[in-house]
């Protein structure tokens, strides 16, 4: 049976930085001290006016492929974990697949909110372990700033935008060790964006034509209590099932939602501060992008070495949770070939040309079909 290993990683963050003081200037009844003392967040990144989820996902995916020195055409499956897709349909993953030039790959979106990346990583590993894929590109990307009520200090200060990606490969040695996933739908109303779906349609069906339905709603107190328990339980499960002990965990990378939740989870697991990674202060809660961004930064800061045992754990709307234990198997040192960026640029341009040609072919065929129908009539 093949195993799944991470061979490439990459991230993208928007350039716009929004510090806590910006919310004070907006007129919210808050302060830098109020936000940072309760959440640990000092600033976050927000996507630009014309920057969609797929744009961030493509940039993170390019960097993951570059670090692995892999071709997009080598990818068998693209999974994008997101709760803020470009469209209800088609999937954002299809847009990413097309722009990368991953012409052999299937593509799908996965929505488990903030738990989405760990869900997607486990599912991508499962495809490799079942020998149905050799390489799987897993992306976590979200743009929750589109769904924030900027008058609600309880939610708008918490979230940021971004994307992160990893490339999984088939290997003969274990990389992904164990994973667990769960959900408790009885708590779905504690964290949700009500509008946009069939329950509360934007056209007014089912009694809802209120634009407020597009805003994120959260019961912060109940989510906090639940998350502090669930994150540690999920992590304990994968540590036990993978045959490891807490003192064998070299780095713990939890979902970056709230520093107090992260610290509480680490205490429950008996992990010292030097074995826990957090960047929530700089980026806030980037939802499905949270863990891959943290992983990329941990690698860049020298916190990950070949042979290390890592545990990822997350929670989110649903209520959903997931955790995964992995062994890092690739060397960190070294740089991709100088030809890799050039090759990627060429592949991206060829993908754009190929996509444009296919669209033109469809237009020509449609025009010919109409002409034949007219002549036949």
Helix (H, G, I), strand (E, B) or coil at 194: coil
Check residue 339 and give its pLDDT: 67
pLDDT tens per residue across span 304-351: 999 999 999 999 999 999 999 999 999 987 656 666 677 777 777 777
Check residue 119 and give its pLDDT: 98
Check residue 213 and give its pLDDT: 87
Q: Give 352's pLDDT tier (boundaries 50, 70, 90).
A: confident
pLDDT tens per residue across span 153-179: 999 999 999 999 999 999 999 999 999
Does pLDDT of 377 surpass 60?
A: no
Catalytic residue among 12, 62, 147, 255: 255
Does pLDDT of 24 surpass 90?
A: yes
Closest alpha carbon to 248 in 181, 327, 322:
327
Closest alpha carbon to 21 in 11, 13, 31, 12:
31
Instruction: Tell me the mean pLDDT in the region 275-280.
Output: 98
Please give the full DSSP string across 10-65, using - where no structure is assigned.
Answer: EEE--SEEEETHHHHHTT-S--HHHHHHHH---EEEE--TT--HHHHHHHHHHHHH
What proportion of the chain, given as a percentage, has pLDDT over 90?
Answer: 82
Q: Output the pTM of the full model.
A: 0.90
pLDDT tens per residue across span 220-235: 999 999 999 999 999 9
pLDDT tens per residue across span 88-112: 999 999 999 999 999 999 999 999 9
As a whole number, the mean pLDDT across the chain is: 93
Does pLDDT of 21 surpass 60?
A: yes
Check residue 48 and give its pLDDT: 94
Crossing angle of helices 32-39 and 259-269, in 10° steps, is 20
- Our answer to whether residue 255 is catalytic in this structure is yes
pLDDT tens per residue across span 38-49: 999 999 999 999
Closest alpha carbon to 289 in 159, 107, 153:
159
Catalytic residue among 12, 83, 111, 114: 114
Q: Can you tell me the distance from the alpha carbon of 11 to that of 60, in angstroms, rounded to the nearest whole number?
A: 4
Q: Can you tell me the distance from the alpha carbon of 218 to that of 224, in angstroms, rounded to the nearest whole number?
A: 10
Helix (H, G, I), strand (E, B) or coil at 229: helix
Does pLDDT of 52 surpass 90?
A: yes
Q: Can you tell me the distance from the alpha carbon of 180 to that of 175, in angstroms, rounded to the nearest whole number?
A: 15
Tell me the CA end-to-end span of the chain in Å, nearest whole number.
60
Q: Note the CATH architecture for domain 3-327.
A: 3-Layer(aba) Sandwich (3.40)
Phi/psi for 107 (5° steps) reads -150, 135
pLDDT tens per residue across span 65-74: 999 999 999 9
Q: What is the DSSP letter of 306?
A: T
pLDDT tens per residue across span 194-212: 998 888 765 555 544 556 6
Residue 42, classified by CB atoms within 10 Å of its CB into exposed (0-12), middle (13-18) or buried (19+), is middle
77-81: strand order across its sheet: 3-12, 161-171, 135-143, 77-81, 106-110
- How many other C-beta atoms can be found within 10 angstroms of the C-beta atom of residue 78? 29
Q: Does residue 76 have a cis bond before it (omega within 30 degrees)? A: no
Does pLDDT of 283 surpass 70?
A: yes
Check residue 204 and give its pLDDT: 54
How far CA 334 is from CA of 164, 189, 331, 338, in Å, comes to 21, 47, 8, 12
Q: Can you tell me the distance from the alpha carbon of 311 to that of 244, in angstroms, rounded to the nearest whole number?
A: 11
Extract the tokens encoding 221.
């107190």
Q: Can you tell me the distance from the alpha carbon of 54 to that of 133, in angstroms, rounded to the nearest whole number?
A: 23
């Amino acid at each position: 049976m093949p195993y799944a290993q991470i061979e490439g990683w990459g991230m993208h963050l928007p350039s716009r930085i929004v510090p806590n003081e910006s919310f004070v200037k907006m007129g919210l009844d808050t302060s830098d001290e109020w936000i940072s003392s309760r959440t640990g967040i000092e600033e976050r990144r927000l996507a630009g006016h014309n920057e969609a989820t797929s744009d961030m996902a493509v940039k993170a995916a390019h960097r993951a492929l570059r670090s692995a020195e892999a071709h997009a055409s080598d990818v068998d499956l693209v999974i994008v974990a997101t709760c803020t897709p470009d469209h209800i349909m088609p999937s954002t993953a299809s847009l990413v697949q097309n722009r990368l030039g991953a012409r052999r790959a299937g593509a799908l979106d996965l929505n488990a909110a903030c738990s989405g990346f760990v869900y997607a990583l486990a599912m991508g590993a499962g495809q490799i372990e079942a020998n149905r894929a050799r390489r799987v590109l897993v992306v976590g990307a979200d743009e929750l700033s589109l769904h924030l009520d900027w008058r609600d200090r309880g939610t708008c200060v918490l979230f940021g935008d971004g994307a992160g990606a990893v490339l999984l490969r088939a290997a003969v040695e274990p990389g992904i060790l164990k994973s667990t996933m769960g959900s408790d739908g009885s708590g779905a109303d504690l964290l949700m964006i009500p509008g946009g779906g069939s329950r509360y349609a934007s056209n007014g069906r089912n009694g809802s034509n209120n634009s407020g339905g597009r805003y994120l709603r959260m019961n912060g107190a109940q989510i906090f209590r639940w998350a502090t328990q669930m994150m540690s339980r999920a992590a304990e499960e994968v540590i036990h099932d993978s045959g490891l002990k807490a003192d064998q965990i070299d780095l713990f990378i939890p979902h970056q939602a709230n520093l107090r939740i992260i610290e509480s989870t680490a205490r429950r697991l008996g992990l010292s501060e030097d074995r826990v990674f957090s960047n929530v202060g700089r980026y806030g809660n980037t939802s499905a992008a949270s863990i891959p961004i943290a992983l990329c930064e941990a690698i860049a800061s020298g916190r990950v070495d070949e042979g290390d045992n890592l545990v990822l754990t997350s929670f989110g709307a649903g209520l959903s949770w997931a955790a995964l234990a992995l062994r890092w198997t690739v060397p960190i040192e070294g740089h991709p070939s100088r030809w890799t960026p050039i090759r990627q640029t060429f592949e991206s341009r060829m993908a754009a040309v190929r996509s444009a040609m296919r669209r033109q072919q469809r237009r020509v065929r449609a025009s010919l079909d109409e002409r034949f129908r007219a002549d036949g009539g």
